[in-house]
Structure formats: structure tokens, C-alpha cells
Amino acid sequence: MNRVLSSLSLVLVLIWCSFVSAESNLVIVVNKHNPIERIEKRQLIDMYMGKYLAFPNGHLAVTLDYTKGHNLRDIFFETLTGRSITQINAYWSRVKFSGKASPPQAYPTIDAIIDKVKTTPSAIAYIPATAVTDELKVVYRFAK
Amino acid sequence: MIILSFSTFIFSAVYAYIYYTYVFETELRHSDEAVSQISQTISSTASIAAYLEDKDLANEVVNGLVSNDIIQSAALTNQQTVLAKSILFTERDAQSFNLPNPFILQENIGFIHVVPNTQFIRQNAREIALSSVQTLLIVIIPMLLLFAVFSFLLISKPLGQLSQQLTSIIPGSAHRIKISEDHEHTEIGKIGKNINAMLSNTEMLFEQERSLRLEIEQLEKRFRLMFERSSSPTLLVREQGDVTLVNDAAKDLLAGMGVDCEERFPDNLGQYCKTPDILYTFTENSIKQKQVMQAEFEFTNPLTLSSVWLSIIILNTESDGQWYFQVFLADITSRKTMLNQLSHRAQRDSLTSLYNRYGAELTLIDWIDSNTEFSLLLLDLDEFKPINDIYGHNAGDEVLKHVAQSISYIVSNSDLVCRWGGDEFVVAIKTSDRHTINNIAQQLLEAINTPTLYERNGHQLKLHVGVSIGISHFPTHANTLKGLVECADVAMYSIKKTSKNQFTFYST
């Protein structure tokens, strides 16, 4: 009896883990010709929050984002900054007002993002780890 | 009223000052809190400005801060540079608040510096405090004034009137405090009534005291009269001998005896006493034994040199822890004289004034009791009866008187002469020396043989008697008086029978 229960709970834990990883296992990718190999979380924040629109080597960077309401966007910003998406939106509405920084370009789907990265050497984007192809270079993985 | 108003004023002033300070401090604290709250409000925008080094946003923040009355100037800096700063800004007076990185909270990316408008804040606080105090005073001063007036009218004034009345009241008199109708049922009235009750009590006590004092005075007067006017001479003497009281009778008596009343007792009497030792012992015993003692003493009056007899009674009394003795004196001289006369009369023969038989017996028994050696001479007159028969009893009496006188001349005062009865005489000489006795007996014979001159009907008569003397000796011949007399009688009769007008000793 005990054996049945413990094996059942193990199965349940495994299912939950795979679901979470499927949702949050995001990776940061760039064009495969981009010389950048690795990127720091801090640099990521600065790039996505509009502080520096450049890679650590000084080359201009184009940050790609999903349109408002995309569920990956919620997960990404929450994981990256520890802020809710509402707070992030409020931030952008404040920043846009002064015109100093501008938010990343928004695309509606993962495929659109992947296409943009493939065609733009200076692009940087986030996609689920499962969507990575040979034409993309992973520069950052969110810890599990 | 002045004190009350003054204290009201002081109280208001102190209270106003304290309240003013309190309100002022509270306002300052509020302003401080306001500054910090305002800074808090803009901190998220300021963080973003610092994060993006967005000078426009920073300026907006600073301008927003400065537009506030209580903030004089402000500045926004990131770690290295000043992003925005208002005019008049000096970092010295500023309060600084940390600005965190909007996305990495633990990282500090800049500061917002705020200089509060101290002048404005203080001015504002002062105005608020002042108006609060004014409001307070508007309420409190009339209240205090009312309180002062009421307390003056209801308490101070009636109390003052009470005390004024009290000062004019003499305790023990019939005066009472008047209570006005308004205060009939108030505390003031109650105090007045209580005071009146106390005054009544006091008056009653005074009255009692007065009557008691009167009673005591009367008693004292009576006792004084009793003591002073008493015919019994009385002294009151302290234990140490100081004479404290002397009544008139005692003064008269002692003055008459030449005694100074002021001198110590009993030394003042002792110097004139015939037996001072006994007097002193008597007084000492009285003090020691604390009991009534009575004795009689003979004194010599230094003025008249006559004898004075005093009866002295000493009575010890204690009063307030001090021992006194009352000394009652009585002049018993006349009684003593009378008694002496009486005893004289009883012991003496009325015709010859010699001891009679009773008197002689008293003395002789005394001598025998004290073993005093003496010779007893029994004299019996010869030829006396014919004188009585021929010339009458007067002539006989005259002879007896003459004989008695003659014997008295010969015998000394220390010895004894007695008319034993009829024509018998007894002479007792305190010696056993025969020669002396012979000599005396011889003298007696001669003296008695001398004729007595007697005048009768104008004629001078010579009356002549003889005497026969028998002599016995104590203790040689007998131990008792009776025995001695018998022996002498025997000797005397032996002569009567034979020769007459002779003397002889008793011989066994």
C-alpha cells in the first residue's frame, strides 16, 4: 500500500516539474553570427528595460519582445526583474512620457520572433528552450 | 481675590506656554513626516530617473518636490552625477533618501536630497500653535475668571467673614458666630455651627472651671481662717526643718517665749529647752517613724526667766512627694503649775509646809528602790500635850511651826524633813556616818529645846518642849520603810521611857 502511494506521489511530482519547465524554461537567443557568447542577467535587465541598447561589446542591440498579453512575456519579465507585468507596464508608460528610452519591439508569436532573430544580426530575444534551432545561439539560460 | 486672580493668571500663562510648545513641536514633527512621506511618494519615479539617468524625469521630480511649500530645494543624484537640482540647493541642510534600483532592489543607485523649508515650517507651526493657544485662552480665561469669582464669593469671602468674627470672640463668653441665611446649609455654615458648638463647650468648661475655682478659693479661705485664727499654735515645717507656715497663735506664743519663728525647727526651741537632748531625739524619732508623737517639755523663758511648759504634738504628712510635719504647740504651764500645786498639797503638811507622811513615804521608797544609803531620825516632842491643854491649839500649832522651821534650818535641801503626824517628825539624812548623824541630832536637840515665843492676850509667853530621837539606818537595820520606822520607833521609845530629850541609835 505504502509503495503504491509513494510511487503515485513521485509520478505527480514529475508531471508538475515538466509543466513548470515547459512554461518557464526560457532561454535568451541571438543571431548565430553574433560574436557574443555569454550575457549577464544584469546586462539583460539593462537592455530590456531600456537603459543600454547595446551588447557588452558595444554593438547596437535590438531587443525583441512579444505583444502585450502574451503569456511568455509575463513569465519572462517576472523571472528577469522580480516585478509583475503590471509594474513593468507602468514603468514603460512613465518612461515613454519623457522619451529618453523606448520599449523593445513587440511581435505577436514565437515564430515571428525566431524569424526576426534569424534575419537580424543585432537582435536579441527570449524563447522557450524547446523552440531553439541551430540557427540560433543561446547566450543565457534561466536557472531552473 | 488678588491671590486668586493672580494664580489664575499664572496658571493660564503657564498652561498656554506648555500648550503652545506642545502644538509647535507636534507641527514640526508633522512637517518632518510630511517631507519624508513626499519623498517616499516620488521615490519610485525618482528611482526610474536615476536608473535611466533621465535628466528630464529627474527635473520633473525635483520640480514637483520644490512646488511643495514645506520643501525649499531638492536634488536627485545617481551614484556619480547630479541628475537634477533646484536653485538654492545646498547639500548641507538636506535630508537624503536612498534610491534603489527598480529591478534589483538591494542595489542602491542614487539619492534624493530634500531641504525642508525650515523657515516656512516653523512659521507655519508657530501660527498654528498661536491660534490653538488663542482658542484655548478664549475658552479657559472666562472659565478661570468665573471660577475665581465664584470661589471668592462662595468660599473666600464667607471664610474671611468667619475668621473676622472669630478674632473678635473671646472664648468662654456668650458670643457666637452669626451664620447668614445663605450659608445655613453650606459647608461654611457647617463650619460656623461647629465653631459655635465648640464655643458653647468652651463656655461650659470655663463656667465649671470658674465655679470650681470659687469653691477652692472659699475652701482655702476657710482653711486659712481655721489655721490662722486657730487658738492652737501650729507650725508647718519641711522635713529639712524650714518653717513654712506659722499661725497667729504660734507667733504669739513663740514671741512671748522669745523664740524666733524663722529659725529652723527644732533648734529654735531647743536653745531654751531644759532638756534639749530629749527634744531633739523626740523630733528625730517622729521623722523616722512617721507617726504622731506627743511629749511635754519645759522651757525657760529668756525674757522673764520663768518656766514655760509646752506640749508638742508632731504629725507627719506627705504632700506632692515632700514630707512635712505639722507641729501643734500648747502652753500647758498653768496646768503644770496646778498639778505641781496639787501634788505639793498632797505631799505637804498644811501647817508646817513640810512633807507630810504620804510625801515622805514617796521619797523614801524612791531612795530605798534606788538603794540610797540613809539614816532615819524619828523625833517625838516631849511635854507637847500640856501646851495644847493649857494654852490651846493655837499655841500648840505655833510650837509645831517653830520646831519645823528649826529642823529645816539644820537639814540640807537634799535631805528630807517631814511631819510624820501629830507631834512626830521624821528626818532622813543620806549618810551612814555616825559622827555626822550625832552632830545633826545634837543640833536638833538644841534647836528644839530653844523656847518658842508666843503672844497671848497681850502677854509674851515662852513655850518650851523637848524631843526624843530614835535613829535607824538603811540598809543596816531594815530593808523596808516600815521596818526602818519600827526600828527608829523602838530606839525612840527606849529614850522616852528613861531619860527623855536625848537621841539614840537603834541596836538589836
Percent of chain B with pLDDT over 90: 13
Domains within chain B, CATH numbers bracketed:
234-337 (3.30.450.20), 347-505 (3.30.70.270)
Interface test with A, best of B42, B43, B48 (most A CBs within 10 A): B48
Instruction: State the alpha helices, DSSP H only, in B239-275.
Output: 248-256, 267-270
Contact list in B for residue A98 (CB cut-off 8 A) is 54, 56-57, 60
Residue B188 and residue B159 in contact, taking contact as beta carbons nearer than 8 Å: yes
Tell me, what's the pLDDT at B472? 92
Residue A56 and residue A99 in contact, taking contact as beta carbons nearer than 8 Å: no
Tell me, what's the pLDDT at A7? 59
Residue B504 and residue B471 in contact, taking contact as beta carbons nearer than 8 Å: yes
The domain limits of chain A are 26-141
Query: Quick one: how far is CA B441 from the chain centroid?
Result: 74
d(CA B326, CA B320): 15
Tell me, what's the pLDDT at B177? 81
Q: Which amino acid is at A58?
A: G
Span B184-211, pLDDT tens digits: 888 888 888 888 898 899 889 999 999 9
Q: What is the DSSP string of B442-455?
A: HHHHHHHHSPEEEE
Q: Name the residue in chain A with its Cα closest to that of B57.
A: A98
For cell 508608460, name the residue: A93
What average pLDDT does this structure show over A22-34?
80
Contact list in A for residue B60 (CB cut-off 8 A) is 98
Instruction: Tell me the pTM.
Output: 0.43
Q: Is the per-residue pLDDT at B216 higher than 80?
A: yes
Q: Is there a contact between A98 and B102 if contact means CB atoms under 8 Å apart?
A: no
d(CA B12, CA B7): 8
Q: Is there a contact between B52 and A45 if contact means CB atoms under 8 Å apart?
A: no
Tell me, what's the pLDDT at B421? 85
**CATH 3.30.1490.100 fits domain A26-141:** no
Q: How far is B101 from chain A (nearest CA, A)?
A: 10
Span B220-260, pLDDT tens digits: 998 888 888 888 888 888 878 888 888 888 888 888 888 87
Q: Is the per-residue pLDDT at A17 higher than 50?
A: no
Chain A interface residues facing chain B, Cβ-Cβ under 8 Å?
Answer: 42, 45, 49-51, 80-83, 91, 94-95, 97-101
| Strand-pair category, B466-474 with B503-505 | parallel
Q: Is there a contact between B103 and A98 if contact means CB atoms under 8 Å apart?
A: no
Q: Is there a contact between B54 and A98 if contact means CB atoms under 8 Å apart?
A: yes
Q: Is the per-residue pLDDT at B262 higher than 80?
A: no
Span A96-143, pLDDT tens digits: 766 777 888 889 999 899 999 999 888 999 999 888 888 889 998 887
Q: Is there a contact between A101 and B54 if contact means CB atoms under 8 Å apart?
A: yes
Query: Quick one: how far is CA B124 from the chain centroid?
Result: 84
| pLDDT averaged over every residue in chain A | 81
Span B382-397, pLDDT tens digits: 888 888 888 888 888 9
Q: Between A and B, how many CB-CB pairs are < 8 A?
A: 37
Residue B217 pLDDT level (bands cut at 50, 70, 90):
very high
Span B298-342, pLDDT tens digits: 888 888 888 888 899 988 888 888 888 888 888 888 888 888 888
Tell me, what's the pLDDT at B208? 93
Residue A22 pLDDT level (bands cut at 50, 70, 90):
very low
Q: How far is A74 from chain B (nearest CA, A)?
A: 15
Q: In sequence order, what are the residues at sequence separation of 6 or more whose Cβ sits closer than 8 angstroms to the Cβ of residue B466?
A: B381, B382, B383, B448, B449, B500, B501
Tell me, what's the pLDDT at B417? 92
Q: What is the DSSP letter of B92?
A: G
Tell me, what's the pLDDT at A19? 46
Task: Record the cell numbers describing residue B227, joined without a space.
Answer: 489655721
Tell me, what's the pLDDT at B470? 93
Q: Name the residue in chain A with its Cα closest to that of B45.
A: A94
Percent of chain B with pLDDT over 70: 100
Span B87-96, pLDDT tens digits: 888 888 888 8
Residue B283 and residue B268 in contact, taking contact as beta carbons nearer than 8 Å: no
Q: Is there a contact between A42 and B104 if contact means CB atoms under 8 Å apart?
A: yes
Q: How far is A33 from chain B (nearest CA, A)?
A: 30
d(CA A115, CA A123): 10
Q: Is the per-residue pLDDT at A4 higher than 60?
A: no
Q: Which amino acid is at B239?
A: E
Beta bridge partners of B416: B428
Contact list in A for residue B54 (CB cut-off 8 A) is 95, 98, 100-101
Q: Is there a contact between B103 and A83 if contact means CB atoms under 8 Å apart?
A: yes
What average pLDDT does this structure show over B78-85?
84
What average pLDDT does this structure show over B467-493?
90
Residue A12 pLDDT level (bands cut at 50, 70, 90):
low
Range 23-52 of B in CB contact (< 8 A) with A:
45, 48, 51-52
Q: Which H or E run includes B315?
A: strand B307-319
Q: How far is A72 from chain B (nearest CA, A)?
A: 19
